[in-house]
């Protein structure tokens, strides 16, 4: 593989991890984010399930993208996604039945999760297989860490545990609201706001730094660091 294409692939992966992170930046696929993130393990497993579905779907759709006629592409996508989800569902049922039961109906609901459909339609059907896989992987990783983050916050605050291990100091009570639906919204909202603020602050700082380099050190008084400028 050429250097160029590795770079492109890396960009495809990175895109889903941060700039277009599905639950925290694009705010799509909200259903699982709000509903199942009561325990960190749930978020992790759900994220892995979504990743698996994204990879499977991306592979098939991208491989068949020249074969599928335009007028039936949506039904074909749905069939492929449903198959991938069913396979994932069966695997979960067999391997981690407790989590599977906790996730319940939200695993089959991955079929209608925006993320899968959107990536299939917008990316996988228009790009070759390696790129589609990279994109799916990126989106999946983004989903994993996004979900796990939200779920961790909610589990710690709402249940006093982290991945099942108690973490609260003795005598502290967990805030039950965070395990309940309102807590999901509050957690998500605060998290997204925080991330937006952080992103904005970072960009502004970077812009200031770039401006500083161009205009020289006119504005700076005491210059930190050693000699020279």
Partner 1 sequence: MARATPLQASLLIQPAPHVHAREASLDRMLGMSLIAVSVPTVAAIVRYGAPAVGVLAAAIAGALIAEALCCLARGERLTSRAWMASLLTGILLGLTLPPSMPLWMVVVGGVVAVGLGKHVFGGLGQNIFNPALVGHVFLLASFAATVSAGWAGQQPVLALARQGEVVPDHLPLLWQGGPGPLGAASPLATYAAAVLMLGWRLGRWMAPAGFFVGSAVLAMALGWDPVFHWLVGLAPLTVAFFVHDPVTTPVGAGGQLLFGVGVGLLTVLLRIYGSYVEGAAFAVLVMNALTPLINRMSVAWSRRRLQALREARPLKVSTQAQWARDLRSVLVLVVVTAVSGALLATFYQAMSPIIASRQQARAIEVGLKGILPEAASFEQVAEVDGTPIYEARDATGRPLGLALFVDAQGYGGPIRLAVGIDMEAQRLIGVRVVEQSETPGLGSRITEEAFLAQFEGKSMDDPFMPGEDIQAISGATISTMGVADGVYAAIEMAREAWEGR
Stretch in the footprint of partner 1 (CB under 8 A) among 9-17, 68-76, 116-124, 128-136: 68-76
What secondary structure letter does DSSP report for 174?
P
- Binder among 91, 177, 191, 195 for partner 1 (CB under 8 A): 91
Q: Binding to partner 1 by residue 80, rule CB under 8 A?
A: yes
Q: Binding to partner 1 by residue 105, rule CB under 8 A?
A: no
Beta strands in the chain (DSSP E): 161-162, 165-166
- Binder among 2, 3, 4, 94 for partner 1 (CB under 8 A): 94
Q: Binding to partner 1 by residue 79, rule CB under 8 A?
A: yes
- Number of residues located near partner 1, criterion CB under 8 A: 19
∠ Cα 190 187 11 (to 5°):
75
Stretch in the footprint of partner 1 (CB under 8 A) among 75-83, 127-135, 157-165, 211-219: 75-83
Smallest separation (angstroms) from partner 1 to the CB of 74: 11
- Strands 161-162 and 165-166 turn out to be antiparallel
What secondary structure letter does DSSP report for 161?
E
User: Residue 161 forms beta bridges with which residues?
Assistant: 166
User: Residue 165 forms beta bridges with which residues?
Assistant: 162
- Binder among 86, 118, 186, 195 for partner 1 (CB under 8 A): 86
- How far apart, in whole angstroms, are the C-alpha atoms of residue 22 and residue 143? 6
Cα distances (Å, whole numbers) of residue 191 to 21, 86, 119, 121, 126: 13, 32, 24, 29, 33
Under the rule (CB under 8 A), what is the footprint of partner 1?
64, 67-69, 71-72, 75-76, 79-80, 82-83, 86-87, 90-91, 93-94, 97
């Amino acid at each position: 593989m050429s250097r160029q294409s590795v770079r492109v692939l890396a960009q495809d992966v990175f895109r889903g991890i941060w700039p277009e992170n599905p639950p925290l930046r694009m705010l799509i696929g909200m259903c699982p984010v709000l509903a199942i993130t009561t325990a960190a393990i749930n978020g992790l497993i759900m994220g892995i399930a979504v990743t698996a579905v994204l990879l499977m779907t991306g592979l098939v759709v991208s491989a068949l993208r020249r074969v599928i006629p335009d007028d039936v592409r949506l039904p074909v996508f749905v069939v492929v996604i449903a198959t991938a989800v069913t396979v994932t569902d069966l695997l979960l049922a067999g391997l981690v039945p407790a989590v599977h039961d906790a996730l319940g109906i939200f695993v089959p609901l991955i079929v209608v999760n925006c993320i899968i459909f959107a990536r299939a339609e917008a990316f996988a059907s228009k790009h070759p297989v390696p790129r589609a896989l990279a994109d799916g992987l990126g989106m999946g990783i983004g989903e994993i860490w996004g979900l796990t983050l939200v779920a961790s916050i909610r589990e710690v605050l709402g249940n006093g545990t982290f991945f099942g291990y108690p973490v609260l100091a003795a005598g502290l009570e967990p805030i039950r609201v965070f395990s309940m639906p309102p807590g999901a919204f509050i957690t998500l909202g605060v998290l997204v706001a925080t991330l937006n603020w952080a992103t904005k602050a970072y960009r502004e700082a970077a812009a200031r730094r770039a401006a500083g380099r161009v205009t020289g050190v006119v504005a700076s008084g005491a210059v930190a660091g050693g000699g020279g400028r």
